[in-house]
Structure 1
């Protein structure tokens, strides 16, 4: 690909074997993290974790920990860690500095009480009304920046914003067992009504030309067919304009 030199410069300038002060402060502000794991055969899985700001605890410049709560019982991420302890974290600040931080390391699962014994500074309540079932304890191998070039700028929704009421329940959302309601189709636009043409009104001087001709008095040998008069405009010679349109001279 021709980028070996650039990659070497990136590793030299950006990749750190531990968390810098700026990295630790950045993690303490984040409310979400994307996690990447793989099982013993290398089959990958990506997931997401969220919580109050700082829910991922910075224990020291080489150690992170985040709580795991009761979930769907699949244990996809945690199950992978028991086979393959390599864990990748990606923190992204979408609403503030629009920057990201990669943290890669070796993960171990720790019971809640055991980790609290080792790190008494852990908060008693990591999320309102919830207690961790266990913790993911990460020994940091490397940490480096994710540039802001393609990170969108997102604004947090107001607190208490609800999901749309017709949204399918989580277990049914992608399984096809529930029909996702669609917005009502728009009715096709109706054409504007065409006004009825106004009845033609002949000019006063010519109105009499469109009235039945008066019958001539009875006379021997004359037909009783009414006389018809030709309108004056019909007797005018037609002219042909340059564009081929036939008009009437004098109109």
Structure 2
């Protein structure tokens, strides 16, 4: 029997180009592969990146006549909180995990979805340009000077949620790495993230490198976890697959017993 209270994973970042939708869709597919009953809600009805990726995946499965574990997915376009709640209530009757992708901009519904999260994932590229979303650093010392508006918002959201229903939102900053980045700057970003995480209580985990392979998979909807359907793989593909697995593990999402057993056997 499916629990009436699914686990909500919300991918949110008010900046675009951080790998948010890519991380979201790969997480959802990884869960589906582990026999988790998972649904994805794409709130970015203008871009529809996650929905398009999963549509491409379904089309590839039909065209090749193969089985590809694929989460259910819906695009929500009305912007109505009442309509969103109705959709979530409907999905909660069937699914164990609901993954929500939000637009890469300030959006009232995205804020509301973040407040519903059990796991809130904020992907960022490993640079001070993206770090500015969550905190500001001193130009000389690179020490954190102050929290950003977004960090303050999430901090208050987590506090309000804990007081309202006792739920502690697990805030995860997903550090998507740029492989060509200067090592000294990468170290400074890491130190600033560590300092800020102690102030506001998020976790930092490694994400995905900026690899062409993830973008090239979009037309087919395949992921690096789709063994046997990707053709010949190079060293970079194997490294990227390992990064993806480490990212999924780092999210520490609760898995039903059967899914945990499937993960152990994989």
TM-score (norm 2): 0.22
- Name the structure with the higher helix share: 2
Greater relative contact order (Cα < 8 A, sep 6+):
2
Q: Which has the higher strand share?
A: 1
Largest Rg, 1 or 2: 1
